[in-house]
């Protein structure tokens, strides 16, 4: 690795957005250095945990069925963000996804039909064969074969700008610091979700009980440097993608298998054995992303998903086995909940259930009456032992505070001037599109779109 020469492009980060930018720029003949903070075995950031990309398509597009038009995608995004999104950048993301599938195939990504289970998304989401890990390995293989230089365990710790222009970055690598000069920069270094101190600053003490679903390397260091240097911020530091995951998961990198998908089939209680939200409000794929926040708002940020034998086998099982008991009081004791309080909650729930025709694939008529909060669908009495419980914690996926960009992925400064040679892609700018809420599979859509646009932009800047 030659850290003394000037590269055409320095890419910071080693996930999907970074590699899309690096491959695109290298294909346009730029000399490219990728600096990835993680060691080689943990390269690929949160991208290595992914399974799919939400993709617009006018007709069947292998592996996607039927059609998923731009307008429907846009309306889906509007619903989850409550309109807090930049329409130009959002529509750019949506439109580009259709072109990504063939580009991804060309660069070694393989697809598979959607798996069954609770997240049936075969029309809207293209699933990667082998998941994000295989996708990242394919991109690294292509990048290496094209001659992209890759430095692992190389963390950007400082950035030097002149006015609105990138000049150099300081990296910490193998016990030394190096100044890397480049004609352009793509910042693709993720959000700040791994930075526990920063999460605490945003959320206060509840953040201490958050688990981080992905990489420990997304510390937000580059994001902070850029914001301090006058790049305009977008998004709210407390907005993020946050789901309910098994409380026994590791602090970092538990990945997709720690998510608990049993919520809509039973009840969820807090540490006082009280229910606090309608578990059957809507289909699980449309609601799973609100449960992290709901648990975060409960005392000690802990919840318990409780189901009975009727629901076993009806959801994608998480990696941890459930706690099992023959009776509700016994289950309460296992969970260190007050047995009398949990028995009363279950009895009140069971008494409020109005029996209907249970169908987990429709918004069925099994609901409660006279109960607060209600359960509006899939409500069935918890009366068939054994009883099962999963303890839940907020599992943060990624944060939305980021840098503002324009449609060419150029970073915008506080005075709205675009930088001529500084681009951003992926989580670090996702807040432009995601003001709040989340649409399954849009993270990879944003990273792939702006990674490729950033790579093209760098190429245009270096070789006009």
Ligand X SMILES: Cc1cc2nc3c(=O)[nH]c(=O)nc-3n(C[C@H](O)[C@H](O)[C@H](O)COP(=O)(O)OP(=O)(O)OC[C@H]3O[C@@H](n4cnc5c(N)ncnc54)[C@H](O)[C@@H]3O)c2cc1C
Residues in contact with ligand X by CB under 6 A are 12-18, 35-38, 44-47, 49-53, 155-156, 188-190, 213-215, 217-219, 221-222, 255-256, 397-398, 426-427, 441-444, 447
Q: Is the C-alpha dihedral spanning 449, 259, 383, 350 positive or negative?
A: negative
Greatest Cα pair distance, the chain, in angstroms, is 74
Closest separation in Å from C-beta 277 to ligand X: 23
Instruction: Give whichever of 212 and 307 is closer to ligand X, judged by the CB atom.
Output: 212
* Phi, psi torsion values for 43, nearest 5 degrees: -65, 160
C-alpha–C-alpha distance, residues 106 and 110, integer Å: 9
Kind of pairing, strands 165-173 and 176-187?
antiparallel
Instruction: Give whichever of 34 and 302 is closer to ligand X, judged by the CB atom.
Output: 34
Closest separation in Å from C-beta 345 to ligand X: 31
C-alpha–C-alpha distance, residues 203 and 397, integer Å: 15
Q: Which residues contact 55 (CB under 8 A, 6 or more apart)?
A: 61, 64, 68, 97, 98, 100, 101, 124, 125, 126, 441, 445
Instruction: Give whichever of 14 and 394 is closer to ligand X, judged by the CB atom.
Output: 14
Q: Confirm if 285 and 317 have CB atoms less than 8 A apart.
A: no
Closest separation in Å from C-beta 327 to ligand X: 35
C-alpha–C-alpha distance, residues 1 and 203, integer Å: 40
Q: Is the C-alpha dihedral spanning 20, 23, 172, 182 positive or negative?
A: negative
Q: Confirm if 459 and 25 have CB atoms less than 8 A apart.
A: yes
Closest separation in Å from C-beta 56 to ligand X: 14
Closest separation in Å from C-beta 123 to ligand X: 16
Instruction: Give whichever of 255 and 292 is closer to ligand X, judged by the CB atom.
Output: 255
How many helices, marked H, and strands, marked E, lie in the chain?
A: 11, 21
Closest separation in Å from C-beta 341 to ligand X: 33
Q: Which residues contact 281 (CB under 8 A, 6 or more apart)?
A: 287, 376, 377
Instruction: Give whichever of 202 and 352 is closer to ligand X, judged by the CB atom.
Output: 202
Q: Which residues contact 324 (CB under 8 A, 6 or more apart)?
A: 386, 387, 388
Closest separation in Å from C-beta 296 to ligand X: 17
Q: How far is CA 17 from the centre of its chain?
A: 13
Closest separation in Å from C-beta 366 to ligand X: 30
Instruction: Give whichever of 397 and 421 is closer to ligand X, judged by the CB atom.
Output: 397
Instruction: Give whichever of 256 and 335 is closer to ligand X, judged by the CB atom.
Output: 256
Strands of 52-54's sheet, edge to edge?
52-54, 125-128, 111-112
Query: Token pair 């605490």 is at which residue?
Result: 200
C-alpha–C-alpha distance, residues 363 and 281, integer Å: 9
Residue 68: how many other CB atoms lie within 10 Å: 24
Instruction: Give whichever of 35 and 290 is closer to ligand X, judged by the CB atom.
Output: 35
Closest separation in Å from C-beta 16 to ligand X: 4
Q: What SS3 class is residue 112?
A: strand
Instruction: Give whichever of 311 and 449 is closer to ligand X, judged by the CB atom.
Output: 449
Closest separation in Å from C-beta 445 to ligand X: 6
What are 283's two structure tokens? 């289909």
Instruction: Give whichever of 220 and 322 is closer to ligand X, judged by the CB atom.
Output: 220
């Amino acid at each position: 690795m030659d850290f003394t020469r000037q590269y055409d492009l320095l890419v910071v980060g080693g996930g999907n957005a970074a590699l899309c930018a690096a491959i695109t720029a290298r294909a346009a003949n730029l000399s490219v250095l990728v600096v990835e903070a993680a060691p080689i075995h943990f390269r690929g950031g949160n991208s290595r945990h992914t399974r799919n990309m939400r993709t617009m398509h006018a007709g069947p597009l292998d592996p996607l069925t039927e059609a998923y038009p731009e307008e429907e995608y846009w309306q889906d995004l509007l619903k989850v963000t409550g309109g807090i999104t930049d329409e130009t950048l959002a529509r750019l993301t949506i439109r580009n996804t259709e072109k990504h599938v063939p580009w991804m195939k060309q660069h070694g990504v393989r697809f598979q039909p959607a798996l069954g289970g609770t997240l049936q998304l075969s029309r809207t989401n293209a699933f990667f064969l082998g998941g994000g890990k295989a996708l990242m390995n394919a991109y690294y293989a292509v990048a290496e074969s094209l001659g992209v230089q890759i430095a692992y365990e190389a963390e950007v710790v400082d950035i030097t700008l002149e006015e609105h222009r990138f000049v150099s970055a300081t990296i910490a690598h193998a016990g030394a610091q190096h100044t890397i000069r480049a004609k352009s920069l793509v910042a693709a270094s993720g959000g700040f979700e791994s930075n526990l101190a920063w999460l605490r600053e945003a959320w206060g003490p509840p953040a201490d009980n958050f688990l981080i679903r992905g990489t420990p390397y997304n510390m937000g260091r580059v994001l902070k440097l850029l914001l301090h240097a006058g790049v305009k911020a977008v998004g709210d530091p407390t907005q993020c993608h946050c789901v309910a995951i098994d409380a026994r998961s590791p602090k970092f990198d538990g990945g997709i298998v720690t998510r608990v998908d049993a919520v809509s089939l039973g009840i969820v209680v807090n540490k006082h054995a009280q229910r606090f939200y309608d578990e059957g409000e809507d289909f699980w794929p449309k609601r799973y992303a609100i449960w992290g926040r709901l648990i975060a708002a409960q005392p000690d940020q802990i919840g318990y998903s409780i189901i009975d034998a009727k629901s076993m086998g009806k959801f994608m099982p998480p990696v941890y086995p459930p706690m099992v008991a023959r009776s509700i009081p016994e289950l309460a004791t296992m969970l260190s909940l007050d047995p009398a309080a949990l028995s009363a909650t279950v009895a009140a729930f069971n008494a409020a259930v109005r029996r209907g025709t249970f169908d987990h694939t429709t918004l069925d008529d099994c609901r409660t009456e006279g109960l607060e909060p209600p359960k509006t669908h899939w409500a069935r009495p918890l009366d068939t032992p054994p009883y099962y419980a999963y303890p839940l914690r907020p599992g943060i996926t990624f944060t939305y505070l980021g840098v503002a960009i324009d449609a060419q992925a150029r970073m915008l400064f506080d005075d709205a001037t675009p930088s001529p040679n500084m681009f951003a892609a992926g989580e670090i700018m996702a807040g432009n599109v995601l003001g709040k809420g989340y649409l399954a599979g849009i993270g990879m859509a944003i990273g792939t779109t702006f990674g490729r646009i950033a790579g093209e932009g760098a190429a245009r800047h270096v070789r006009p």
